[in-house]
Amino acid sequence: MSQETIPQLTAFDVAALDRSFGELLRSVQQEAARMVSADDREKFRLYWLGRKQGRLKSIGEAWLKTAPVEAKKAIGQRFNQLKEQIEQALDAGSPSVAARAAGRSAGPISDALDITLPGIRPGLGAEHPLIKTLHEVVGIFERMGYSVGIGPEVETDYYNFESLNFPPNHPARDTQDTLVVAGQEKKPLRERLLLRTHTSPVQIRTMEQQPPPLRIVIPGKVHRNDAADATHSPIFHQVEGLCVDTNITFSDLKGTLDHAMKELFGSSVKTRFFPSFFPFTEPSADVQISCIFCSGKGCRKCKHSGWIELLGCGMVDPAVFGFVREKQSAYDPKKISGFAFGMGIDRIAMMKYGISDIGLLYSGDMRFLEQFA
């Protein structure tokens, strides 16, 4: 690239300036396209940006210094734009970029790929202990013929409470410290939004959409206004199940959960049921398993009783079917029956993996999580 004489500007109107600078820009683009090596790039830089004889310096002297005062601003703006275009062409044509784009080396390049070096071994991921336990529990019920149900985490009061036989002002609502979406005072109570306190609303939604027979297991995240400590968290996970068909009895419930606990903790685990109360089941029961740490002999973890309470269950209350019949008439409590159960996944994961603080499951601490990789 040899230096060329800079033509003098004879007109300073907008069209004339655009035409003159446009010709320069086309010249920049054509010469930039011919850069293939580090030498080409250096020649391009000296030709346009050289301190003593650079073409851009000559243009400034020839056009800016001799222009009338009223045209200096317009020329200066276009001059700066041209300089930016030249610098961008230099960046795009740098040796490393050009070499990678063309697939060939352009002189010594410090960041070139050396294919003789060993590659970077990617770290293998692993399931979070919560997710691993969740999949394990769900897999047990899938093998028994259950399908998986999902639903929204932001629920209405109707699906979270009322349709599950928690009428307004029912004392059982107080046991589920609920996180409610603000600013809904003008809505009817059943339409107000909240963060679901259990995955049970999915049972109602599924029954409204699907007639019996029905067998679903429902994993998911739930929220309650619990103060965080070693065994409590405002966010935790549940797996609930629902079975509805003709002639479903409490014996079916006991057999199902006994099999599930043996699959989860080993064939030597025993189960026993104690009367309890849940608004959506009648009769209801708490389920205990023989202590997996001491094999039922008694230890500190089972409070020397030999048993650990793990989940709740019961036969579906006919009143719940009554709510469903508004949209799905097949749920006639005189013809069908069913059972439901629910368990906390966080607690099961803590038991299986010897975790003493539930907060570790949500801390994101890689030192803790790498133990399960």
**Residue holding tokens 């019961």?**
314
Which residue intervals of 175-301 are DSSP H helices?
201-209, 250-265
175-197 per-residue burial string, b: 16 or more CB within 10 A, e: under 16: ebebeeeeeeeeeeeeebbbbbb
Provide the β-strand partners of residue 249.
none
Interatomic CA distance for residues 205 and 208, integer angstroms: 5
Q: Given this model, what pLDDT does residue 191 score?
A: 92
Which residues partner with 315 through β-bridges?
A: 339
- pLDDT at res. 218: 97
Q: In what order do the strands lie in the sheet with 147-148?
A: 147-148, 214-223, 235-245, 337-344, 307-316, 281-290, 271-278
Q: Examine the pLDDT at 253 and tell me if it is beyond 60.
A: yes
Residue type (1 letter), 327: K
What was the pLDDT predicted at 111?
58
pLDDT (tens digit per residue) in 196-210: 999 999 999 999 999
Q: Has residue 346 got a pLDDT over 70?
A: yes
Go through 220-259 and write b for each residue having 16 or more CB atoms within 10 A of its CB, e for each that does not. Answer: bebbbeeeeeeeebebbbbbbbbbbeeebeeebbbebbbe
First to last CA, the chain: 61
Q: What is the C-alpha to C-alpha distance for residues 93 and 293, in angstroms, rounded to an integer?
A: 68
pLDDT score for 71: 81
- Confidence at 223, pLDDT banded by 50, 70, 90: very high
Whether the predicted pLDDT of 104 surpasses 50: no
- pLDDT tier at 100, thresholds 50, 70, 90: very low
| pLDDT range class, residue 138, cuts 50, 70, 90 | very high
What amino acid is encoded at 204 in this protein?
I
**Average pLDDT rounded to a whole number, residues 200-227:** 94
pTM, two decimal places: 0.65
Q: What pLDDT digit, counting tens, does each position of 305-341 carry?
A: 999 999 999 999 999 999 999 899 999 999 999 999 9
Does pLDDT of 93 surpass 70?
Answer: no
- Enumerate residues 6+ apart whose C-beta is below 8 A from 87: 49
